[in-house]
Amino acid sequence: MRIGVLDGRAVVVRGDRAVAVRQASQGRLPDDPMALLDEWPRVRDWAAELPDDAFDLTVTPAALGAPVPRPRQVFAVALNYPPHAAEAGFTPPAEPLVFTKFPACISGPDTTVALPPGKVDWEVELVAVVGRETYRVSEEHAWDAVAGLTVGQDLSERVTQLQGKPAQFSLGKSFPGFGPTGPVLVTPDEFDDPDDLEITGLLNNEAVQHDRTKSMIFPVPELIARLSAVLPLFPGDLVFTGTPAGVGNRMDPPRYLTADDELVSRIEGIGEIRQGFTDVRP
């Protein structure tokens, strides 16, 4: 199942067609995507029964919003791909390095981001969406706690991210629009292997990042298990799972985003998100 948010309403997506959840369920399921995630098992069972002719809406990418617009918690993991850890000058970590992107930065799949002063960099990432309240789940059962996967960009302003000793990552990764996600949330059963997906970041059509998610040091189930060993996770919580090699500040010379750039982030079996940039700040 693929779930999206079209003109603010939760929809089930099949191909380029969609059906509004509330309308098609005759009011039994909510329009609001956050309320929908609270009833995830019911939603999944109901959507599986939908006939193709129920899909009466056309999906236009520009009308899609963040599949999870108001997550309570957003976790992000640093240095989770060995080549990226190496390019950043670190040995692969023994424990996940966790920070947050404050939820105010979460946005949809097709956006224009106002560039703050500084050095704004790209990080294509697989994002796992929690599907039920989860505390102390084992790695073996962790996929059952995941509603689905989506594409994310962990946009990062490197000056703010790295200032101070020790550096604190979270603010530099939380400027408005710095957490684009989408285009849809895809349930794990849709993938042949949800632990092995091609992930690509394209800057002006050039593939600057490319890997497979099986390269992760801490795969999705291990991250869910380790996070939930510490604190409860809630429906709709996001886990940005780390970025492959090829970020701009490790290029020689370093390369940062400008108003002329277009960034496309793509993951096999999910789709792609697209960001433009502007120097004009609201």
User: Which pairing describes strands 106-107 and 179-186: parallel, antiparallel, or unpaired?
Assistant: parallel
Contact window for Zn ion (CB under 5 A) among 106-114, 146-154, 164-172, 261-269: 146-154
Q: Pick between residue 5 and residue 245 the one whose CB is nearest to Zn ion.
A: 245
157 binds Zn ion (CB under 5 A): no
Q: Which of 66, 68, 90, 70 is nearest to 78 (CA)?
A: 90
Q: Which of 154, 157, 211, 237 binds Zn ion (CB under 5 A)?
A: 154
Q: Which of 121, 123, 211, 237 binds Zn ion (CB under 5 A)?
A: 123
Q: Pick between residue 194 and residue 201 the one whose CB is nearest to Zn ion.
A: 201
# residues near Zn ion by CB under 5 A: 3
User: Using an 8 Å Cβ cutoff, are 238 and 74 in contact?
Assistant: yes
Contact window for Zn ion (CB under 5 A) among 33-41, 98-106, 108-116, 154-162: 154-162
Contact window for Zn ion (CB under 5 A) among 121-129, 140-148, 160-168, 221-229: 121-129
State both tokens at 165.
Answer: 């000793």
Q: For the window 185-224, what string marks contact with Zn ion as x by the rule CB under 5 A?
A: ----------------------------------------
243 binds Zn ion (CB under 5 A): yes
Contacting positions for Zn ion (CB under 5 A): 123, 154, 243
